[in-house]
Structure 1
Amino acid sequence: MNISASMVKELRERTGSGMMECKKALVEASGDLEAAIEIMRKAGLAKADKKSSRTAAEGCLCVKSSADGKRAAMVEVNCETDFVAKNDDFIAYANDVAAGVLDSSVASVDELLGTVLPSAGISFDERRKELIAKLGENINVRRFERFASDSGITASYLHGTRIGVLVELSGGDAALGKDIAMHVAASRPVCVDEAGVPAESVAKEREIFSAQAEASGKPANIIEKMVEGRIKKFLGEVTLVGQPFVKDPDQTVGALLKGKGASVLRFIRFEVGEGIEKEESNFAEEVMAQVRAS
């Protein structure tokens, strides 16, 4: 049968796919629009499966918060290139994922992916696979964090779309919460205070500092003071409350919080792609390989 331009146009608007792909599906479906959409969906799922093994270390972070400041969620959604990370459809999906985490009680990425995305009427995973087919890259929902505070507040900060922080405070206000979140983004503390520093980390640092101090040949009592001084400095560097506040280095974050009658209960910091082993590639060689193959 004859496939008109208007039929192709309508299918493109509904699927976001290319003209030739839409025309091929319409021909296969004998002009039935709904059948063509189903054909394209099945083809898209097959494409997604083929791309699932490809490394996705780019992407974006999204944060959603409740109006009362009691709840906040942050998600990392990955793709293969920075180009796709800036795509409107990709960003919209990441925002949908963040909203889905905030407004649900899902405990894992797999559980989230199996739930229905209200705006699309299909699961988050099906929508993800549709995007893979449309954008041509592997796309993963990698991780999320959700904070809920009964008596305090939550705060967040996004540095662009690549670094994100959630903070839960007892006391204080939204402005203080944002300042603390910005500080965490910039200074990367390991934990809130000394109680959160692993004992083995302290022991390891003490061992290193002791060996260095003993090499100086100083008396034992002096060495002990040197080591304790180094340990104190180490704890100040890795704990949030011990670090100099980025907006006012003359006071520590701990002093800032004390002055506001507040305390940080917990925080989490995400950075896009951290911990993902990226594949090394030579762009010039890839281009030459394509030229030789053509």
Structure 2
Amino acid sequence: MSKISAKLVKELRDMTGVGMMDAKKALVEVEGDIEKAVDFLREKGMAKAAKKSNRIAAEGITEIVEKGNKAVIVEVNAETDFVAKNDKFLKLVDDIANAILDNDPSTLDDALALTVDGKSVADLIAEATTVIGEKISLRRFKVLSKTDSQHFGAYSHMGGRISVIVLLEGANDDIAKDVAMHVAAINPKYISREQVSPEELEHEKTVLTEQALNEGKPANIVEKMIHGRLNKFLSEISLNDQPFVKDPDVTVSKYVTSHDGRVLDFVRFEVGEGIEKRQENFADEVMGQIKK
């Protein structure tokens, strides 16, 4: 028969979630018929992962790994929070984080193509999905680099439910970790108000103006009110302007500056943020099973 194409192998992998070699072997076995290959893999119990492809993986864990002047933060998702305590899952996350840190991929696809002990990260995830019995996915990652004069501050909360890494110029590791704890708790959007886009600023100004007018405030004082409220808005979303959680009498910027430092960057990952979680009613689920 004709040679099995890489495109066909990829199509079968996408359909079933199995590894590349398993997909190729199945296609060879059935002489390139992809439908028969799917049946073959299902019969062998290897296409279990495919049945989970439409499930919502909104739980999981975040992890930070540091090596010298580089650090990585990753989020790997699963369907339930129980999996976050599974040793196989934790090893998978650790392997993925270290592979990304060592190779610094540019995109998620590049990260999935990295190899660990001869297997791609994508294959490792597919195998773990089959063994653990839940849909697992690498959602995102960020690699940071620093110089010798800079410091990382890493902090994980609730067993990796939230992880933060902060990069400071100057100061020290302890100060950087303090700032990371603040970011975990307060969740700022930006380092400074200067990073807020003109579009976002204009949008907020429009909303605040309408609020003031709806409150029946005279038009001649609305502008002054908007100025104050806009300043408050910016101080709430900007890390440097926020009252420091350990000492609310000073801002984060003043705290860091007092230790000869400056915030250069931060990354905050919270498991499942932005993913719409399916809300299921247990009684409805049981009735659904009865009616089948």
TM bracket (short chain)? 0.7 to 0.9
1:157 counterpart = 2:155: yes
- What is the TM-score of this pair, normalised by structure 1? 0.78
Q: 2: CA distance between counterparts of 1:103 and 1:219?
A: 59
Q: How far apart are 1:276 and its partner, in Å? A: 1.2
Distance change in 2, residues 1:42/1:169 (3 Å):
farther
1:199 counterpart = 2:194: no
Counterpart residue number, 1:81: 80
- Matched residue type, 2:74: V
Asked if the contact 1:44–1:130 (Cα under 8 Å) also holds between the matched residues in 2, the reply is no
Q: 1: CA distance between counterparts of 2:114 and 2:46?
A: 17
Counterpart residue number, 1:112: 111
Q: Which has the larger radius of gyration?
A: 1
Counterpart residue number, 2:47: 46
Cα distance per residue 1:118-161 (max 9 Å; x no partner): 3xx32222121111111111111111111111242222111121
Distance change in 2, residues 1:292/1:210 (3 Å):
closer
Asked if the contact 2:99–2:115 (Cα under 8 Å) also holds between the matched residues in 1, the reply is no
3-state SS of paired residue (1:147)? strand
Asked if the contact 1:45–1:129 (Cα under 8 Å) also holds between the matched residues in 2, the reply is no
Cα distance per residue 1:190-222 (max 9 Å; x no partner): 1000111121222122223334445554473x4
Asked if the contact 2:164–2:180 (Cα under 8 Å) also holds between the matched residues in 1, the reply is yes
Cα distance per residue 1:227-278 (max 9 Å; x no partner): 2211111111110011000111111101111211111111111111111122
3-state SS of paired residue (1:145)? strand
3-state SS of paired residue (2:135)? coil
- Matched residue type, 2:154: S
- Matched residue type, 2:243: P
Q: 2: CA distance between counterparts of 1:213 and 1:123?
A: 56
Asked if the contact 1:241–1:253 (Cα under 8 Å) also holds between the matched residues in 2, the reply is yes
- Matched residue type, 2:138: V
- The number of aligned residues is 250
Distance change in 2, residues 1:213/1:81 (3 Å):
closer
Distance change in 2, residues 1:42/1:170 (3 Å):
farther
Q: CA RMSD in A?
A: 2.3
- What is the TM-score of this pair, normalised by structure 2? 0.78
Q: 2: CA distance between counterparts of 1:61 and 1:43?
A: 33
Distance change in 2, residues 1:247/1:163 (3 Å):
same
Asked if the contact 1:191–1:240 (Cα under 8 Å) also holds between the matched residues in 2, the reply is yes
Asked if the contact 2:192–2:239 (Cα under 8 Å) also holds between the matched residues in 1, the reply is yes
Counterpart residue number, 1:238: 237
Q: Percent identity?
A: 43
3-state SS of paired residue (2:239)? coil
1:123 counterpart = 2:120: yes
Structure 2 residue runs without a partner (length 5+): 1-39
Q: 2: CA distance between counterparts of 1:140 and 1:287?
A: 28
